Structure formats: structure tokens, C-alpha cells
Amino acid sequence: MEMLLLPALLAIVIKIVIFIRYGESLLHNNINLALFLITACFLNLIELFGYEDYYQGNTMLVILLAYYCCAALLTHSYLNLAISFSGFNWRLPMVRRVLNASLALMVLNIIFNRHLIAGAEYTDIAITRVAGSTYWIVQAYLVLGIMLGTTVLVRGYLSLNSNNLGKSLEPFVNNHHFEHP
């Protein structure tokens, strides 16, 4: 059991070290990265509670719901981080409102809608969810959020690369004259 705690503990320690070293800079210069790291730290902290098997009543369900709320918030902060790093600016205020509204709806549904997560049970290792009839919505939200964030990052990288590709190849092309036979 104790060995299972090591990855989460290590992740928390690494995030704390990052905050000790770069905390002020993160909060002033890149709030999205700071929120992402804080949310990931909370997710790891809640994960630590999930390995215990002595909870009574609905305590397991509360821990599980907190975990899923943190996962939704982590996906949301990943999307915000991807938007800020990629230079995405198409209808940005509207996109942010939609992202914030979808996060609020997802968190409220995770907490109050037992059709998403019907309950919690302890397996041999950790607490796990009892899927409700519409649990697929939670899965879709998390997976689509990660895929969308990754797509935004890749598109930002490709547009940055295509803008700088000509400039980076210019000295090579201009200094080498190719003769045709």
C-alpha cells in the first residue's frame, strides 16, 4: 500500500519545489501555469486519500467527487494554458466564457447528478467510481478537453514554425546557388 503512495507524494514534492523556486514569477508572469500546477497538486493530494480503505458512509463518495472535480479543473486549466502558449486569439473572450460555463456545468453535475457518478466503492487498491447511466459525459469532457488543448498547442506550434521557417532557411538558400545542368 505504501508503495502506491510514492508517485503521488513525489509529484506533490516536485510541485512544491517548483513553487518555492518559481512561485512569485509564476503568479505574476504566467498565472495559467501556476493554476495548472496548483490544480495538479490538489489532484495528487486527493489521490493520496483514495488509497485508504477505512472510510465510512459517504466519505468515499466525497473523496471521489473531489477527485473528479479536480480532474475537470485540471483539464480546464490545461486548455487555458494551451490557449496562452499557442497564441490562439480567435474570439478569445467568447471561447473563455464557453470554457468557464462548461467547467461550471461539469462540476455542478459531478457533485449533484448521480447519473454521472452513481457512487464509490473500494477495490483491492483504491477507491473507484460506480458509473452512472451518463458517466460517458464525464469521460467525453475530460478526453475532448485534453484533445482540444493538444490540438491548439500543435496548431500554434505549426503556425509559429511556418512563420519562422522561411526566415530560418533564408541564409542557407541565399548562400548556396544551385546550377541546373
Q: What is the pLDDT of residue 174?
A: 52
Give pLDDT tens digits along the chain (181 positions).
577 788 888 988 998 898 888 888 877 888 888 889 899 999 999 988 888 878 887 899 999 999 999 999 999 999 999 998 888 888 989 999 999 999 999 999 999 999 999 999 988 888 999 999 999 999 999 999 999 999 999 988 888 776 655 454 444 445 444 444 4
Q: What is the pLDDT of residue 67?
A: 95
Query: How far, in Å, CA of 82 to CA of 101, rounded?
Result: 18
Q: What is the pLDDT of residue 53?
A: 79
Q: What is the pLDDT of residue 1?
A: 56
Q: What is the pLDDT of residue 2?
A: 72
Q: What is the pLDDT of residue 173?
A: 46
Say what the pTM is. 0.82
Q: What is the pLDDT of residue 172?
A: 45
